[in-house]
C-alpha cells in the first residue's frame, strides 16, 4: 500500500515570474516554485506545497492550488492577467486629480461583478477643488448601489485611517487603480512597515527589480486577519471573459432596465422598444455609461442577427 504524503498548506503573498512567496500558517515566508512549466498561481491563492530537495535556492515546491472562491482578472485578445484570488472586497481607487477614466472604472466594476466580488469605490484627494467635479461624475455609481468613500490620504491622514480601518477589518482586500491615485500612499498609511516587507522579499529573491510592478499582500494586524493587497497600475483593461450578450447583466444601471425591452435578445443599440435606450433618454442611465457599454460591446464582437 502506497503511503500518501500530507502536503503543507500556505498562502501566496507575492509572485515574481516563476517564483512565489508562500506564507505558512505560522507566519513563515518561503520562496517556492510551481511543479511543472506552467504556473497558474496568483496572490491570495491557498496552495499545497512541500520542501524542495533541489539546490536552486527555492525552499519549496507548489504542488497544487486549493479551490478558489473567486478570481479577479482582465483578458484581452492576446493574454489573461490575473490580479488576485479569494477576495472579500475590491477597493477601486480614483482621485480628484488627475481626472480618472470612467471607462477604466467601469471595466474594473464589470470584472468584479463577473467574479462576484463586492466593491467599494474610494475617491482620494477630496481636499482639492476638483473634488466636486469628481463627485458629480461618480454620482451614477452611488445611485447604482456601489459604496463610495471619500478620503484625503495625505492631507487628512488620521481621518482617512479611521474611515478605512473598519471597512478593511477582517477582509482580504485588493486595491486597484491607475498610477497617481494614491495607492502607495494608502498602503504606507495603513501598513507603516510596508517598505520593510517589500525589502525583505527583494533580499530573499536577491532582486529588487519587480517590487513596484508585482502584486503584494500585506497584513494590517498581528493576528493576520486583515489583508491588504497592492497591485500594479494598468493602462488597458480587457473584458474578453464576458460574453457580449451577458454584458448588461454586469452593469447594474443597464441591468435594471434590460428586462423592459421588447425583444429578449435586444442589443440595446438600435432595436425598437428598447428599455435601456428609453432609460438613457429619461436620464436614468448616464450618456457616459451608455457610451462605455457600446465601446465594450464592440470590443467583444457582438453580432446582430
Flag whether 178 is marked binding. yes
3 is in an annotated binding site: no
Q: Is 204 exposed, middle or buried (0-12, 13-18, 19+ CB in 10 A)?
A: middle
For the chain, the farthest-separated pair of C-alpha atoms sits apart, in whole angstroms, at: 73
Residue 188 annotated in ligand binding: no
Q: Is 182 annotated as belonging to a binding site?
A: yes
Residues 274 and 268 sit within 8 Å (Cβ to Cβ): yes
Residue 126 assigned to a binding site: yes
- Known binder of ligand: residue 179? yes
Query: Has 120 been labeled as part of a binding site?
Result: no
Is 177 assigned a ligand-binding role in the annotation? yes
Instruction: Say whether 180 counts as a known binding-site residue.
Output: yes
* Residue 81 annotated as part of some ligand binding site: no
- Say if residue 242 carries a ligand binding annotation: no
User: Is 55 known as a binding-site position?
Assistant: no
124 is known to lie in a ligand binding site = yes
108 appears as a binding residue in the annotation = no
Query: What CA–CA distance (Å, rounded) separates 93 from 61?
Result: 35
Residue 268 marked as a ligand binder: yes
Residue 212 is labelled as binding a ligand: no
Q: Whose CA is closest to 124, among 152, 101, 143?
A: 152
Torsion angles phi and psi, residue 156, rounded to 5: -135, 70
Asked if residue 181 belongs to a known ligand binding site, the reply is yes
Binding site as annotated, residues for Zn(2+): 261, 266, 268, 274
Binding site as annotated, residues for GTP: 124-127, 177-185
Binding site as annotated, residues: 124-127, 177-185, 261, 266, 268, 274
Amino acid at each position: 500500500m502506497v503511503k500518501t504524503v500530507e502536503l503543507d498548506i500556505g498562502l501566496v503573498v507575492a509572485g515574481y515570474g516563476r517564483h512565489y512567496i508562500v506564507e505558512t500558517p505560522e507566519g513563515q515566508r518561503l520562496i517556492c516554485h510551481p511543479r511543472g512549466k506552467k504556473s497558474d498561481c496568483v496572490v491570495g491563492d491557498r496552495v499545497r506545497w512541500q520542501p524542495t530537495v533541489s539546490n536552486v535556492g527555492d525552499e519549496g515546491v507548489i504542488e497544487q492550488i486549493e479551490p478558489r472562491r473567486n478570481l479577479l482578472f482582465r483578458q484581452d485578445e492576446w493574454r489573461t492577467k490575473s490580479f488576485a484570488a479569494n477576495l472579500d472586497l475590491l477597493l477601486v481607487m480614483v482621485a480628484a486629480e488627475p481626472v480618472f477614466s470612467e471607462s477604466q472604472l467601469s471595466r474594473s466594476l464589470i470584472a468584479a461583478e463577473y467574479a462576484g466580488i463586492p466593491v467599494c469605490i474610494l475617491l482620494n484627494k477630496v481636499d482639492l477643488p476638483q473634488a466636486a467635479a469628481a463627485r458629480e461624475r461618480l454620482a451614477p455609481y452611488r445611485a447604482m448601489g456601489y459604496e463610495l468613500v471619500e478620503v484625503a490620504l495625505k492631507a487628512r491622514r488620521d481621518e482617512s485611517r479611521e474611515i478605512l480601518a473598519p471597512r478593511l477589518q477582517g477582509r482580504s482586500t485588493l486595491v486597484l487603480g491607475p498610477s497617481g491615485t494614491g495607492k502607495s500612499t494608502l498602503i504606507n498609511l495603513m501598513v507603516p512597515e510596508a517598505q520593510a516587507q517589500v525589502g525583505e522579499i527583494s533580499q530573499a529573491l536577491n532582486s529588487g527589480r519587480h517590487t513596484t510592478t508585482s502584486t503584494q499582500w500585506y497584513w494590517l494586524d498581528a493576528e493576520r486577519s486583515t489583508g491588504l493587497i497592492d497591485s500594479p497600475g494598468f493602462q488597458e483593461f480587457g473584458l474578453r471573459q464576458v460574453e457580449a450578450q451577458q454584458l448588461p447583466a454586469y452593469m447594474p444601471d443597464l441591468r435594471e432596465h434590460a428586462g423592459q425591452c421588447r425583444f429578449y435578445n435586444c442589443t440595446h443599440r438600435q432595436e425598437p422598444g428598447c428599455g435601456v435606450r428609453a432609460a438613457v433618454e429619461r436620464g436614468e442611465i448616464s450618456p457616459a455609461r451608455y457610451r462605455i457599454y457600446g465601446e465594450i460591446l464592440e470590443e467583444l464582437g457582438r453580432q446582430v442577427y
